[in-house]
Structure 1
Amino acid sequence: MVVPEQFLRSGEAPRPRTLVDIFRASVAAFPEAAALDCGDVLTYADLAELVDERVAQLHAAGVGADCRVGVRLPSGQPDLYVTILAVLCAGAAYVPVDADDPDERAELVFGEANVDAVWSAAGLRVINAQAQPLTTAPRVEDTAWIIFTSGSTGKPKGVAVSHRSAAAFVDAERELFVRDQPIGPNDRVLAGLSVAFDASCEEMWLAWGHGACLVPAPRSLVRTGLDLGPWLISRDISIVSTVPTLAGMWPAEALDNVRLLILGGEACSAELVARVASSRREVWNTYGPTEATVVTCAARLHPDRPIAIGLPLAGWDTAVVDANGQPVALGEVGELVIGGVGLARYVDPVKDREKFSAELGWERAYRSGDHVRLCEDGLYFVGRIDDQVKIGGRRIELGEVEAYVAALPNVAQHAVVVRETAAGEKVLVAYVSPQDPDVDIDASGLDEIPKAMVPRLVVLPEIPTTTSGKADKKALPWPLESAQVTGADFTPTQQWLAQLWVDVLGVPVGDVDADFFALGGTSLAAAGVVSRIRQKAPTMSVRDLYDHPRLGALAEVVEQLPGAQVSKPRELRQVPWATRVVQAIIIWLCATIRAASWVAWLLVINNVAAGLGASWARPLPWLAVVLFTLVVATPVGRLPLGAWSARIITAGVSPGDYPRGGVTHVRLWAAQRLFDAFGAGDIAGATWVNYCARVLGAQVGRAVDLHTMPPVTGLLRLGDHCAVEPEVDLSGVWVDGDVVHVGAVEIGEDARVGARSTLLPGTVIGAGAHIEAGSTVTGAVVKPGARWSGSPAAKVGRPKHRFPDEYPPRRSRWVPMYGVSSLVLALLPLLAIAAGMVVVWRMQERTHTALWWWVPLGVVAAMGLYALLVLLLVRLLGWRLAPGITAVRSARGWRVWCIERLLDDARTYLFPLYASLVTPWWFRALGAKVGKDVEISTAVMVPSLSEIRDRAFLADDTLIGGYELGGGWMRLGRTIIGKRSFVGNSGMALQGRKLAKNSLVAVLSQVPKKARSGSNWWGSPPERMRRVAVTSCAADTSTFHPTVGKKFLRAAVEILRLTAPITSGFLLAAVLVSAQWLLAFGVVTAVVGTGIALCAAGVLAIVLTAAVKWCTVGRHRPGNHPLWSWFVWLNELQDTFVEVVAAPWFFQHCTGSGLMNAGLRLLGVHIGPGAWIESYWFPETDLCHVGKGATVGPGTVVQTHLFHDRVMSLDHVRIGAGATLATHSVMLPASRIGEATTVGPGSLIMRGDDVPAHSHWQGNPIATATI
């Protein structure tokens, strides 16, 4: 992008001269014209005479050119202005301090400026006299003034402006204002601002630069505002430069004689423009930081037109840049950068180098810290970058809120600030003063903005102002006197709760029907209130507040809550070091088992290559190779080997509780690792899985549809014709603190278990019962014919009649079809890898270069071929696939099963395609209906039966559609996600369901069976959620409507994701080369050596991933980032390395071990000693804290970010010492689990929730529980 030429005007700078040149020219041209009217009028000749006398006094005292003189004189008096002019004419720079400022402020400013003298009401005090002061006139490069502005650290910043810049500013404005009738001796200019404020320079030189008269106003009148209006009339003021806050106080008739009104210093409202603009008066809006000499750009204002800050003055350059310092396109928002003749400098050279630097090829530039929108006709002010505040986890632009408040009828002055309640919660408060005190302010206009932006409205007689005339936000009252409990008839519990609400929300509570959310409560505020209620009622849950948001109803709930189920403090045993050593040995053994498969396929490659004449090949007899490969590299051999190994290891394990890290726990852990090492997990849903379950020791009835993996314990009983859908946890094992719970799971005849459910140890599901998808059954007995749902699951009714009464024929021909299909689908990635290896081999042979150069090409070729195979197969299998009921053993059932298997695997092997710009195109190509500007992460769906409408957002691991099983039947339905709707991480929209437009489904939650547009849902089963409308200060181009440029930049970063599979490709090549070399020493040596090579590759993988993480995003910190921003893109890049490099090479093989903890620590996770962690899903690692001896179960997500309207919000998540976050649970940002607390399986901890120590919780969302 290039900066439009109308914003580059440095080449039009006025000729160089000084302010003294300008003053002397006015004296020569208008000697008898009035120059200063402080009650007594001084002509320009009189003023010049007084100035010269004071110059002589300065020189005589040893003050001359290159000196700095502090000026602290009462405003409105001739002495002030004579002194300023005298200092300038003496060649020195003046350093003003308001006479009303505290002495400490004056001492600080004069000390920082290192002044040589101070002129105050007591006269001239010389600090550093020169023996022979220079008496020459100032040069253009000399400093004219040093004005101090407030600094972000509390220490004021001194800004030095040269005569060149100051004079250019005066001359540029001469060509800007009232050109048809230029300012002249007949004009009278208001001097109403403190000389310590740089806008006072504009007042003075609007007069002295044009031969006009400067008319100072008494400060007492300026402060009152309203009384200044009549004074303007009586003094016949024609030129006014002021801030909107002051102008808003004056009645319209006060400006009758004013022909030029210049506004600046703060945002201007449309209501003010409509009131002050007229055909007889020019009204201008100016903008400029002190660092760029008062004014940088200006725009003429007209009623009913947008309020711009316009185009730069002649001599100034402006550009609008993005976060990377690159110019934005027209219509986009970015930071304003200023260059040209007006640039000043900081007195502090360090700060000067920091803030003034080369930008955009300019020699020097200043980053303003202001957000503006770049448009053809000029710039539009959006707000200060540091005015972007975060309330309730949402980003809000104060400038945007101020614009709405300013537009309210009868508002004369306004200020919007963020305040903190007594409980530490941030709230938005708008202070207003009325034009007519007898007329109420109508706040209905605030209904037009999102609820999260609606401030508390406080009416004051007038808004206090600073010496610059701006609203003094520090002087605004807080806390509010009205923010208190006002109900007279409250019960003690109601009174206590009401005071909590006041403390958290900062609003009055006076009625038992007061609604927490209607009063401005947010999800974070709800979590804060619940945390405080738990001090009295520890079993209180966030759901209780959502279900009972009214004060009276909530009080009844609190009074009825049982006593806290808080366990005694317990000392948890840490995992023994001996266990860690045994685990490391088992990990190497598993690597050796996997190495056998690698060597087997390598032998096949050698034999094929030998047949093609390759000189490097080491062939063996085909019979031996085929037999070896069948046994160690295909499900034919690996499945029974894995199952029998697990069964032998777990022999004799019975239901009960065992020590974490003890012998029984290690046996169970080792059995699962060996089972996985043999690759048995690739058979779910095929006929192999029932056989595998039986080998493991499970009792499997007739005609069972088992579409998930059986437990390695063998403690499973499946009744005839029962159905278990994909991703159901049947392990019957979970870790709670330092205890491992082990138990049997029984599923009765004709029972159904929905997808992504968890059945805990001891669960018995009766015949014909139905467990709905996403449920967690906590070891309960489900009676026959009952329907249970939720987490924890509870009875919700009887099973609905969704399948035919009769069983379908169990066609035997489909048994081998499913079995062979599972083998073929498992071979597809190997086929693609083999093709990539051929590419590398052929290119290496043709070019006679090292094969390493061609690994990237081979990886791309392999991924391309695999993607093509998946695409063709899914389109073929999905052709004319229709909703309805079909037999599992049928062509339609088989096709759906194959599609789900293909796309589930594709999320692993084609991970760089997901959560990217390409993902919507990928799903369109697969057959899904996908609208415009859709964002899709790692979703699973049946594409031909799925529709994702415009601007919808599918987060990580969402399940869209899928299928239902029951009695040998499979049910299919079309699933629709409406426009601009959101499905959170691990959310589910089951087959046949539709999520209406503008709706939200929270993390780990389901789309309800029926939902209206704009509704929000959470939990399992789904319930309506009170949710404040989300807003963001991010430009729409950073969220829903990105520019072409941003799409290009994002695409460029996403192309870099290919470096992750390429890195895996290099690791693969290194292991294969090592194995090939080891084959020279025999097959056994090759297998053992390759196992060691795999371990080394795993270590290298985690080190490389950590390096990428630290190089791309560095240390994660709390904050907010729009979807279309560098942070989000780079964060996805490093996450791709986690999933594509670290996970398959390292994490998946060392889960629950000390190596797992070491790898996570390398990425930035804070982990205490002795923690047991079986999940690597810590998205923003530096924000994750796991305490000493804590437990994180498999399938859990320690979620440190959330997306709200495509803005990513990050915060810390903390798991206390000895605490447990159990299987398949999710923690949301800003949440914390207390010490030794257990959060049971299938739980959701809401954002900001603070779970008490030494307690037990479970549920989605969590509630107190007995575990």
Structure 2
Amino acid sequence: MLGHPVDIVSAGAGAPAPAADPVVTGYTAVLAEVLAVDTVDPDAHVFDDLGADSMVMARFCARVRKRTDLPAVSIKDVYAHPTLRALAGALAPAPAPAPADPVASGLAEVLAEVLQVDSVDPDAHVFDDLGADSMVMARFCARVRKRTDLPAVSIKDVYAHPTLRALAGALAPAPAPAPAANPVQGELAAVLADVLQVESVDPDAHVFDDLGADSMVMARFCARVRKRTDLPAVSIKDVYAHPTLRGLAAAVAEPVPAVAEPVPAVAEPAGAAPAPASEAPARTVRRATGVEYVLCGVMQALVFLAYSCVSTLVAIRGFVWVSEGGSLLQDYLRAVVFGSATTVALCVFPIVAKWVLIGRWEPQQIPVWSLAYVRFWVVKTLIRSNPLVLLTGGRSHTSSSSPLHVLYLRALGAKIGRGVAIYSRNVPVCTDLLTVGDGTVIRKESFFNCYRAHDGVIQTGPVTLGAHVFVGEATVLDIGTAMGDGAQLGHSSALHPGQSVPAGEHWHGSPAQPTTADYRGVEEVDLGTTRRFVYGLTQVVTTLLVTVPLGVGAFAFLSIVFPWLADLLDPGEAAYGQWSFYENALVTSATVFFGFFLVGLLVQVTVPRVLNLFLEPDRVYPLYGFHYSVHRGIARLTNSRFFAFFFGDCSYIVHYLRALGYDLSQVQQTGSNFGSLITHETPFMAKVGRGTMIACGLSLVNAEFSSSSFRLARTEIGAHNFLGNNVVVPSQGRTGENCLLATKVQVPVDGEVRHDVGLLGSPSFEIPRTVARDARLGEVTPEEVQRLLPVKNRHNLVSMALYLLVRWFYVFLFTVLTAATLELYSTYGGSVVALFNAVLLVVGISYWVLVERSVAWMKALRPDGISIYDRAFWRHERFWKVPAVRYVHVLNGTPFKNLLWRGLGVRIGKRVFDDGAAVIEKSFVTIGDECTLNARTMLQSHSQEDGGFKSDRITVGARCTLGVGAYVHYGTTIGDGAVLATDTFLMKGEQLPPGEHWAGNPAVEQPPFAALLPTPTPAPVPRPRDAAPTEPPSLSVEELMALFQEDGAPGPSSPTVPLPRRSGRHRATQRHLAGSR
């Protein structure tokens, strides 16, 4: 068309003249008669062009009212439309209405109810025109799901079709040959109108742009639709995909029965076997009684006290022996001997305990709080607290691989090939069920535990990775998953039980699905066994000859600097009854704490800059050499959680990050530019644009790793972005300026550069950058910012001072208890050591509970949102900063964790199993009886977007299961017995009906995947302790995998499973998802 512009003109030249308008003709005749002229121009201004006045036009109106063939005219109409053509257009009878769309009408009705207005325009953009936000649209979705006459709507559908008419069209069933009303669309519109608290909504209106809904409103809409048995269920993902009710109704409506859709073939991975013809019967697991629950806690406490007592007693006696050396050289040699012996013992003991208490792990179910569970807990705790874990990377949350880590897993029974690099510090527990092929790389923050907690039991199962597999950052490999040779799993993704990635394919998302994106960022290099051996040997020698002796000699150094500590070991009058004892403890603790603070800060901003001189960007280096050690040093020195929390959520974080090496260009200070948890591979390859705001949990992947090499690569975040919680930003990220990256979003690494949009989900899809309601929360003039920012800074300075004060006082308490133990040791011996460990644990936890309860009143419950420049938000920031957060994980998997949650304000039921969940705003959360919470489960009762902050309550019903890495946002309700699958993101405002299984990011209703059945391996020769197992009975692989299908849905006969096919209520949504692949 660009080559033939003349065609456009000629095409219109011969067009016939429009037909005459009888209303215009009638008005023209009447006015000509009043003016006593032959004719008047219908486009002439009756006052300016024709010279009429109000008296003339009053006579004109009177004569028109006498004409029965013309619509009546008032003088007000004339002034509003001063030409006859405009007047006729305004007053002409409306054309015959099109057949009513019940889905669009129903959605409009729901949305009007949610918005508390009489009606909404179905063609209005729910965000831009109606001013709704994600919270409003989540309520809208929830209400629609309650309407049986409307199709269920998800927040994703709303974003995809942001007018109600378009949403109804997307969700409505395919039209029948004869024109007829769409009941699904009408009911969806009714539900949405109910959610929006309006009389009706336009089914063709964009729910976000026209109706002003947001994800919260649409989540409520989806919840209400799901409660309607006469409507297909709608997920938030469906709403984003079809943001008008018409489109939503068409997408989710039940299709006409036809020939069954073919199931796409998926290549079987090596080692897979066909499924059996019949399913194994499901096993009923008896839930623990209150007595068993208490008994389990007592046994765990005794195990802890015994282990800590022995280790502390050995440490004290070892220090006494080392200090009797007589000379510096003898002290060093004794420290080497004692430190080496204890380190080797501590490293070997967990391995021996695993083989003695467990033997070989097999697929099985272990009821929580049972005797078998106590054995499981003991082995898991010992394996993950092994000094080898600290030696090979510790808990630094940076990419740190070591051949020693692979050897450790092999010693525990894992089948790991040659040349494997594991950067994740999340140590698998059921190691006999882990198989990793040659040359595979597993990036940091990945979970492959080979077990999960589900509905009151621990389920163990295999994780199988072929050769040269790539597993990206922040991924979860659930039990019963497999990846073929050369397969890739992108970052922020998850494989659910039963999923298998065929050889050579690339998958991403949660749950994962095929993609063409390539996540490998650096090529392999030749890396011999000698280099790996020398690097591992160097780590061992450095630890035994340098690190351990320094640790042993640390107390000797302190006793020299503070002589009163050495005096405590001498018999004499009890010093703890004198004021000088506490004065000395006060001075010692303050000197040590604030000395480490100043020295640590100085080292962070100087030493890494010197080390960075030895590294070049984009150059490929082999692993386990000098450059790799330098990079590890930079990463560990600059990733300090202590300083990140200290400077985070205030204006001073930008100065701290700049001092580390970040490129922040020209900072637009907001007072909340960065949250309190930021990780990176190197600060010298990180760039953040002007005006960008980032919440907690940012991970900058600015170094690429393979199984044999690494490369530094710059990672950039554009200007005026907003990043939600737990966002992984890879160096290949394709996002530009003015983007909203939602919580747990998967940042795309292929395609065009995104800008001026929002991204949600994994895999990600586009949503509006912001909505009117959220934008209004952050509407603060530059003058107000300049006035309020200094006030906020002063408030933050007080919070920072409290942060240091409460931590120093904890060190003071520790110093007092330690000094008292040293003094009493000479009199009471080992018994005081056991008492010390118990008292230290109780006092430490009680102290942090009191600290958090003292600032708990500062939390702001603001479902409708407030500005970040509101004092209520500043107080909420203080609540985040002052208390400690990580100590709660000491009690993971024990009944004491529930006591701790109650002490912190969580409304928690009986016998809840918590394997590592985190709760941010404790008093905003309610958890029902016998729930199961997995590792890295997050319940977050707040959200921040640009300059706005919102918070609301979270309710989890009884006997619910939240999978590994599941993320629950604010304003949500999970019904009794519901399940959130692995790595699921339940968006704000969602409501899960009881007993349903939801999965995905964002979460949608979805039955579990069919079981993946690996080839059974021959059972090992039974040993005496394995000859007659009593509790729990081992399950065959087939029986275990049948248990993964919690809803009883039969799986296909093939062991390899394509992407999930939903029930009839979801087939339209499934077709949309398949098309997006």
**Which bin holds the TM-score, normalised by the shorter protein?**
0.5 to 0.7
Match of residue 1031 from structure 1 = 775
Matches for 1:1133-1212 after TM superposition, within 5 Å: 1133-1139=878-884, 1143-1144=886-887, 1147-1212=888-953
Distance 1:859 1:782, change over 3 A: same
Match of residue 1045 from structure 1 = 791
Distance 1:1103 1:1180, change over 3 A: closer
Q: In the aligned structure 2, how far is the partner of 1:825 from the partner of 1:982?
A: 45
Q: In the aligned structure 2, how far is the partner of 1:425 from the partner of 1:838?
A: 71
> What amino acid maps onto 1:841 in structure 2?
F
Q: CA contact under 8 A between 1:1191 and 1:1221: conserved in structure 2?
A: yes
- 1:712 pairs with 2:447: no
Match of residue 851 from structure 1 = 584
> What amino acid maps onto 1:494 in structure 2?
Q
- 1:804 pairs with 2:550: no
Match of residue 937 from structure 1 = 676
Distance 1:512 1:938, change over 3 A: closer
Q: In the aligned structure 1, how far is the partner of 2:742 from the partner of 2:853?
A: 33
- 1:1095 pairs with 2:841: yes
Q: Any idea what SS the aligned residue of 1:1031 has?
A: helix
- 1:776 pairs with 2:494: yes
Match of residue 630 from structure 1 = 340
Q: In the aligned structure 2, how far is the partner of 1:509 from the partner of 1:1052?
A: 49
Residue 569 of structure 1, CA deviation: 16
Q: Any idea what SS the aligned residue of 1:1094 has?
A: helix
CA deviation map 1:783-807 (0-9, x unaligned): 2111111111122248566443654
Matches for 1:267-282 after TM superposition, within 5 Å: none
The range that moved more, 1075-1084 or 830-839, is 830-839
Matches for 1:1120-1135 after TM superposition, within 5 Å: 1120-1135=865-880
CA deviation map 1:1009-1057 (0-9, x unaligned): 2533222111112221235242245645787974323312321222211
Q: Any idea what SS the aligned residue of 1:1043 has?
A: helix
Match of residue 292 from structure 2 = 578
> What amino acid maps onto 2:224 in structure 1?
R
Matches for 1:648-1047 after TM superposition, within 5 Å: 648-682=356-390, 683-684=392-393, 685-708=401-424, 709-714=426-431, 715-779=433-497, 780-797=499-516, 799=518, 802-804=521-523, 807-809=526-528, 811-812=531-532, 813-817=534-538, 841=562, 850-854=583-587, 855-879=589-613, 880-904=615-639, 906-908=640-642, 911-931=645-665, 932=667, 933=669, 934-941=673-680, 942-993=682-733, 995-1009=735-749, 1010-1026=752-768, 1027-1029=770-772, 1030-1033=774-777, 1035-1036=780-781, 1042-1047=788-793
CA deviation map 1:105-160 (0-9, x unaligned): xxxxxxxxxxxxxxxxxxxxxxxxxxxxxxxxxxxxxxxxxxxxxxxxxxxxxxxx
> What amino acid maps onto 2:219 in structure 1?
A
Structure possessing the higher relative contact order (Cα contacts under 8 Å, 6 or more residues apart): 2
Normalising by structure 2, what TM-score? 0.66
Q: In the aligned structure 2, how far is the partner of 1:834 from the partner of 1:978?
A: 48
Q: 1:544 aligns with which of 228, 231, 238?
A: 238
Q: CA contact under 8 A between 1:803 and 1:967: conserved in structure 2?
A: no
Q: Any idea what SS the aligned residue of 1:960 has?
A: strand
Matches for 1:216-235 after TM superposition, within 5 Å: none
Percent identity at matched positions? 21
Q: In the aligned structure 2, how far is the partner of 1:624 from the partner of 1:1201?
A: 54
Matches for 1:112-131 after TM superposition, within 5 Å: none
Q: In the aligned structure 2, how far is the partner of 1:1231 from the partner of 1:824?
A: 54
Distance 1:885 1:1169, change over 3 A: same
Q: CA contact under 8 A between 1:915 and 1:938: conserved in structure 2?
A: no
Q: Any idea what SS the aligned residue of 1:1217 has?
A: coil
Match of residue 593 from structure 1 = 307
Q: CA contact under 8 A between 2:620 and 2:710: conserved in structure 1?
A: yes
Q: Any idea what SS the aligned residue of 2:435 has?
A: strand
Q: In the aligned structure 2, how far is the partner of 1:1132 from the partner of 1:426?
A: 30
Q: CA contact under 8 A between 1:1118 and 1:1183: conserved in structure 2?
A: no
Q: CA contact under 8 A between 1:1109 and 1:1163: conserved in structure 2?
A: no
Q: CA contact under 8 A between 2:975 and 2:991: conserved in structure 1?
A: yes
> What amino acid maps onto 2:220 in structure 1?
G
Residue 716 of structure 1, CA deviation: 1.3
Larger Rg: 1
Residue 839 of structure 1, CA deviation: 10
Q: Any idea what SS the aligned residue of 2:448 has?
A: coil
Q: 1:1252 aligns with which of 993, 1008, 1017?
A: 993
Q: CA contact under 8 A between 1:425 and 1:525: conserved in structure 2?
A: no
CA deviation map 1:297-351 (0-9, x unaligned): xxxxxxxxxxxxxxxxxxxxxxxxxxxxxxxxxxxxxxxxxxxxxxxxxxxxxxx
Which is richer in strand? 1
Q: In the aligned structure 1, how far is the partner of 2:525 from the partner of 2:996?
A: 48
- 1:530 pairs with 2:240: no
Q: Any idea what SS the aligned residue of 1:878 has?
A: helix
Residue 1211 of structure 1, CA deviation: 0.1
Q: In the aligned structure 2, how far is the partner of 1:723 from the partner of 1:1088?
A: 43
Residue 598 of structure 1, CA deviation: 5.3
Q: CA contact under 8 A between 2:285 and 2:367: conserved in structure 1?
A: no
Distance 1:649 1:1072, change over 3 A: same
Residue 560 of structure 1, CA deviation: 3.5
Normalising by structure 1, what TM-score? 0.57
The range that moved more, 1047-1056 or 1234-1243, is 1047-1056
Structure 2 spans left out of the alignment, 5+ residues: 1-75, 77-107, 138-164, 173-178, 258-280, 394-400, 568-578, 1009-1044, 1046-1077
> What amino acid maps onto 2:663 in structure 1?
K
Q: In the aligned structure 1, how far is the partner of 2:526 from the partner of 2:559?
A: 49
> What amino acid maps onto 2:889 in structure 1?
Q
Distance 1:808 1:799, change over 3 A: farther
Q: In the aligned structure 1, how far is the partner of 2:201 from the partner of 2:110?
A: 15
Q: In the aligned structure 1, how far is the partner of 2:580 from the partner of 2:545?
A: 35
Distance 1:721 1:677, change over 3 A: closer
> What amino acid maps onto 1:1069 in structure 2?
T
> What amino acid maps onto 1:1215 in structure 2?
V
Q: In the aligned structure 2, how far is the partner of 1:1195 from the partner of 1:580?
A: 25
Residue 1244 of structure 1, CA deviation: 0.2
Q: In the aligned structure 2, how far is the partner of 1:534 from the partner of 1:561?
A: 18
CA deviation map 1:15-65 (0-9, x unaligned): xxxxxxxxxxxxxxxxxxxxxxxxxxxxxxxxxxxxxxxxxxxxxxxxxxx
Q: 1:640 aligns with which of 323, 327, 348?
A: 348
Q: In the aligned structure 2, how far is the partner of 1:1040 from the partner of 1:594?
A: 54
Alignment RMSD: 4.4
Residue 706 of structure 1, CA deviation: 1.2
> What amino acid maps onto 1:589 in structure 2?
V
Residue 546 of structure 1, CA deviation: 0.8
> What amino acid maps onto 1:748 in structure 2?
G
Matches for 1:370-519 after TM superposition, within 5 Å: 426-427=114-115, 489-505=180-196, 506=198, 508-510=200-202, 512=204, 517-519=209-211
Q: In the aligned structure 2, how far is the partner of 1:769 from the partner of 1:1104?
A: 50
Residue 1230 of structure 1, CA deviation: 0.3
Q: Any idea what SS the aligned residue of 2:439 has?
A: coil
Q: CA contact under 8 A between 1:1123 and 1:1206: conserved in structure 2?
A: yes
Q: CA contact under 8 A between 1:593 and 1:678: conserved in structure 2?
A: no
Q: Any idea what SS the aligned residue of 1:889 has?
A: coil
- 1:1105 pairs with 2:851: yes
Q: Any idea what SS the aligned residue of 1:935 has?
A: coil
Q: In the aligned structure 2, how far is the partner of 1:1019 from the partner of 1:745?
A: 25
Q: CA contact under 8 A between 1:1118 and 1:1210: conserved in structure 2?
A: yes
Distance 1:897 1:986, change over 3 A: same
> What amino acid maps onto 1:728 in structure 2?
S
Residue 743 of structure 1, CA deviation: 0.7
Distance 1:508 1:516, change over 3 A: farther
Q: In the aligned structure 1, how far is the partner of 2:626 from the partner of 2:917?
A: 38
Q: Any idea what SS the aligned residue of 2:918 has?
A: coil
> What amino acid maps onto 2:704 in structure 1?
E
> What amino acid maps onto 2:595 in structure 1?
A
Matches for 1:322-401 after TM superposition, within 5 Å: none
Match of residue 1042 from structure 2 = none
- 1:1055 pairs with 2:801: yes
